C-alpha cells in the first residue's frame, strides 16, 4: 500500500519496481562475476527460457463485479499461517552479493513474515542467521552430505537453532555444466564458499588434515567431494527422518512418478522446481509439469513451486495450476545486491503488492479462489 500510494502521489521508489529493470541494474552494480553467478543457467540457458515460456503459455481471464475490494492473501503452509503464498528460495553464498548476505535477507523476510529458506551453502552460519531471523519461521535447505556424521551434525545444529522445516534439494548432486561460471573458473562462487556453513561445522572440520583458514583450496576440494555423488536413494530418506523431527520437503521434483515416490517416502511437501534452469539444460519448464504433479499428489503432500516466478501474475498462475505457495530466487538476490536488507524488502513488497492487485483485479479475494478455471492456455 505504502509503495503504491506513494507512487500515486508522485514519490519515486528507491529502486525500480520492474523485475527486468532490476536485473539490468544489478548487472551494472555487481560486475560480471557475481552477476553471472546469479543470472547464469545450465548449458545454453534453454531451461531458464522454458521456465518463462511456460508462464507465457497461460493467460488469466479476469472476472468483474466480484467484490474483491477486501482481500486476504494468507495461506497455511505445513501447519503455519503465512501472510502470503510466497517464500524466499535458498540461494547460496549471498555474501558475494552484499557483505551482510543471508543476515540481511533473513531480516527483510522476518520483517514481512515471509519464510526464508537458508541454504547449506550459505556464507553466514546457521546460528547467526537464526538470530537475525528473530521470531520468524526458520526453514533450512540441505545439500545432503555423503558423510553421515557431517549430515547429522549439520541437521543437529539446524534443529538446535530453531529451524523447523527441512528442504532437501535433490537436483544438485553435482553442479551442472554452467558456461558462465566455468568461464570465470567459478571464482566468485569459490571465494564465497570459503565461508559457507560446512566450513564452520565441527564434523566437517574433523575430516580435514589442515584447517580451512590454512589451506582453503584443500578444504574446498573436500567440500566438493562431500556434496557430490548419487550414493543416496529413496530408501535413505529414512536417515534424514531419524535426524529431523519437523516437516521434510523434497526440492527439485519434475516427474509425476518422483512426486508419487515422495508421497510413499512419507515426506510432508515437495517443491516442483528445476533449480531456476541451473541444472539440466534443455529441460521442461517447471510450470509445465506443475498441473500433472498437483493432480497426482496434491491431496497427499503440500505442493510448492519455483523456477521463473517474477510477477504477481506468475504467482496467480502457479497457484491456479495447483501450487500452495511459490518460492522466488533471482529477484530477491538482485534486491540484496541493490541494498542489502532494504533491497530484499523492496523486492518482496513489490511482488506482494503486484500479486495483491492482480488477484483482486482478476476478481478474486484470496488464494483459495484460484483454480484452473481462472486460466486459459494461450
Ligand atoms: C540457487 N538455488 C539454490 N537452491 C538450493 O536448493 N540451494 C542453494 O544453495 C541454491 N543456490 C542458488 C544460488 C543462486 C544464485 C540461484 C539463482 C539459485 C535455486 C533456488 O533455490 C531456486 O530453485 C531458483 O532460484 C528458482 O528460480 P528463479 O526464481 O531464480 O527463477
Query: pLDDT tens across 195-220, in order?
Result: 778 888 999 999 998 988 888 888 88
Our answer to whether residue 255 is catalytic in this structure is no
Q: Is 178 in the pocket of ligand 1 (CB under 6 A)?
A: no
In the chain, domain spans: 2-60+74-364
- Catalytic member of 98, 243, 275, 364: 275
Pocket test for ligand 1, best of 109, 154, 270, 278 (most atoms within 8 A of CB): 278
pTM of the complete model beyond 0.95: yes
Q: Is 37 in the pocket of ligand 1 (CB under 6 A)?
A: yes
Residue 52 has pLDDT above 90, yes or no: yes
Does CATH number 3.40.50.1970 belong to domain 2-60+74-364?
no
- Phi/psi for 327 (5° steps) reads -110, 145
Give the CA angle between residues 51, 52, 54 to the nearest 5°: 70
pLDDT at 243: 98
Helix (H), strand (E) at residue 339: helix 330-361
Q: Is 309 in the pocket of ligand 1 (CB under 6 A)?
A: yes
Q: Name the residue with the closest Cα to ligand 1, atom 23.
A: 275
pLDDT tier at 242, thresholds 50, 70, 90 = very high
Residue 356 has pLDDT above 80, yes or no: yes
User: How is residue 102 written as a grid cell?
Assistant: 543471508
Spacing, Cα 275 to ligand 1 middle (Å): 5
Q: Name the residue with the closest Cα to ligand 1, atom 9.
A: 92
Helices (H), 148-266: 148-160, 179-182, 187-193, 202-206, 216-227, 237-242, 256-264
Amino acid at each position: 500500500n505504502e509503495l503504491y500510494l506513494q507512487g500515486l502521489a508522485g514519490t519515486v521508489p528507491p529502486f525500480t519496481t520492474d523485475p527486468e529493470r532490476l536485473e539490468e541494474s544489478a548487472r551494472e552494480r555487481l560486475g560480471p562475476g557475481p552477476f553471472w553467478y546469479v543470472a547464469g543457467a545450465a548449458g545454453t540457458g534453454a531451461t531458464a527460457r522454458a521456465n518463462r515460456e511456460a508462464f507465457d503459455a497461460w493467460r488469466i481471464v479476469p472476472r468483474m463485479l466480484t467484490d474483491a475490494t477486501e482481500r486476504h492473501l494468507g495461506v497455511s503452509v505445513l501447519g503455519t499461517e503465512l501472510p502470503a503464498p510466497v517464500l524466499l528460495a535458498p540461494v547460496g553464498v549471498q555474501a558475494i552479493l552484499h557483505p551482510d548476505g543471508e543476515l540481511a535477507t533473513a531480516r527483510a523476510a522476518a520483517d514481512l513474515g515471509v519464510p526464508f529458506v537458508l541454504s547449506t551453502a550459505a556464507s553466514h552460519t546457521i546460528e547467526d542467521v537464526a538470530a537475525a531471523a528473530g521470531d520468524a519461521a526458520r526453514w533450512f535447505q540441505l545439500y545432503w552430505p555423503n558423510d553421515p556424521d557431517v549430515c547429522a551434525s549439520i541437521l543437529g545444529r539446524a534443529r538446535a537453532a530453531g529451524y523447523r522445516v527441512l528442504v532437501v534439494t535433490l537436483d544438485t548432486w553435482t553442479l551442472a555444466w554452467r558456461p558462465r561460471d566455468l568461464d570465470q573458473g567459478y571464482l566468485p562462487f569459490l571465494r564465497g564458499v570459503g565461508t559457507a556453513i560446512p566450513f564452520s561445522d565441527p564434523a566437517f572440520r574433523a575430516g580435514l588434515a589442515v584447517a580451512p583458514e590454512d589451506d582453503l583450496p584443500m578444504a574446498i576440494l573436500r567440500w566438493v567431494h562431500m556434496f557430490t555423488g548419487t550414493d543416496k536413494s529413496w530408501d535413505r530418506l529414512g536417515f534424514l527422518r531419524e535426524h529431523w523431527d519437523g516437516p521434510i520437503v523434497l526440492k527439485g521434483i519434475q516427474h509425476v512418478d518422483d512426486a508419487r515416490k515422495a508421497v510413499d517416502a512419507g515426506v510432508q511437501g515437495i517443491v516442483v522446481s528445476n533449480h531456476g534452469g541451473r541444472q539440466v539444460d534443455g529441460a521442461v519448464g517447471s510450470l509445465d509439469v506443475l498441473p500433472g504433479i498437483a493432480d497426482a499428489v496434491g491431496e497427499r503432500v503440500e505442493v510448492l513451486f519455483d523456477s521463473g516466478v517474477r510477477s504477481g501474475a506468475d504467482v496467480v498462475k502457479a497457484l491456479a495450476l495447483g501450487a500452495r505457495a511459490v518460492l522466488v530466487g533471482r529477484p530477491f538476490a538482485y534486491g540484496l545486491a541493490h541494498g542489502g536488507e532494504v533491497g530484499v524488502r523492496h523486492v518482496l513488497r513489490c511482488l506482494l503488492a503486484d500479486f495483491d492487485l492482480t488477484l483482486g483485479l482478476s476478481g478474486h479475494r484470496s488464494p483459495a479462489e484460484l483454480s484452473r478455471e481462472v486460466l486459459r492456455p494461450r
